[in-house]
């Protein structure tokens, strides 16, 4: 029997096995035995840590990579009369540049994302919200971090006063929503969470 015939018979036999037995049997045989990941701490900072993780992939290959363990964050879009959004222009040391964003911050240990969003809104903008609605969550960089950002929309705003940290340099700007979307399209808004938030708010407002 030639090589072509052997490969064909093997394929036919495998197909017959899959059709004759329980549907999950073949899938189970193709999945590797899960030994669980192993983590080694490489560095620890005030907000997050860096680990080297070894894990078994679904295809049976064992891999190792560096990941950032992050407690998660909350971001909030302050909305006025369904027409304007409050953006912040903040200087970011990581890129040594100013960037347009929505208010956001890292979750404290054991903190509820909604409480974090309310706190960051008050501290960074000086506004309190009568209504804080969760509109989604997303993974900003799942290739190297477990960070989850929880998105909220804030309405019923009342001005108080800002409580900025000493290393926060922030300017505020009320922007018409249509103009904010144009800032996304033009590249003036480059921050990922803000782009996601703008499209999410756009969809919600269009459905009203």
Average pLDDT per 10 consecutive residues for the chain, totaling 208 residues: 45 39 39 74 93 94 95 97 94 97 96 98 97 96 96 96 90 96 98 97 85
Q: Strand, helix or coil at 207?
A: helix
42/46 Cα distance (integer angstroms): 14
List, in order, residues 6 or more apart from 1 with CB less than 8 Å away: 9
132/120 Cα distance (integer angstroms): 12
Lookup: tokens for 103: 């208010």
Q: What is the pLDDT of residue 7?
A: 40
For strands 84-92 and 49-56, give the pairing. Answer: unpaired
Tell me, what DSSP letter sits at residue 145?
B
């Amino acid at each position: 029997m030639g090589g072509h015939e052997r490969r064909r018979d093997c394929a036919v036999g495998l197909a017959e096995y899959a059709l004759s037995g329980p549907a999950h049997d073949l899938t189970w045989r193709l999945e590797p035995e899960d030994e669980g990941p192993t983590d080694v701490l490489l560095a620890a900072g005030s907000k997050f840590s860096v680990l080297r993780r070894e894990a078994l992939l679904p295809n049976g290959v064992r891999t190792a990579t560096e990941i950032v363990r992050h407690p998660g964050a909350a971001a909030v879009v302050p909305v006025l009369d369904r027409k304007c959004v409050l953006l912040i222009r903040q200087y970011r040391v990581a890129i040594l540049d100013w960037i347009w964003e929505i208010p956001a911050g890292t979750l404290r240990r054991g903190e509820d994302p909604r409480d974090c969003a309310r706190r960051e809104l008050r501290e960074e903008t000086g506004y309190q919200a009568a209504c804080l609605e969760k509109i989604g969550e997303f993974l900003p960089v799942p290739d190297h971090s477990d960070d989850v950002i929880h998105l909220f929309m804030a309405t019923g705003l009342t001005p108080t006063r800002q409580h900025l940290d000493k290393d926060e340099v922030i300017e505020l700007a009320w922007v018409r929503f249509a103009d904010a979307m144009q800032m996304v399209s033009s590249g003036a808004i480059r921050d990922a969470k803000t782009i996601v938030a703008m499209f999410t708010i756009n969809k919600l407002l269009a459905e009203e």
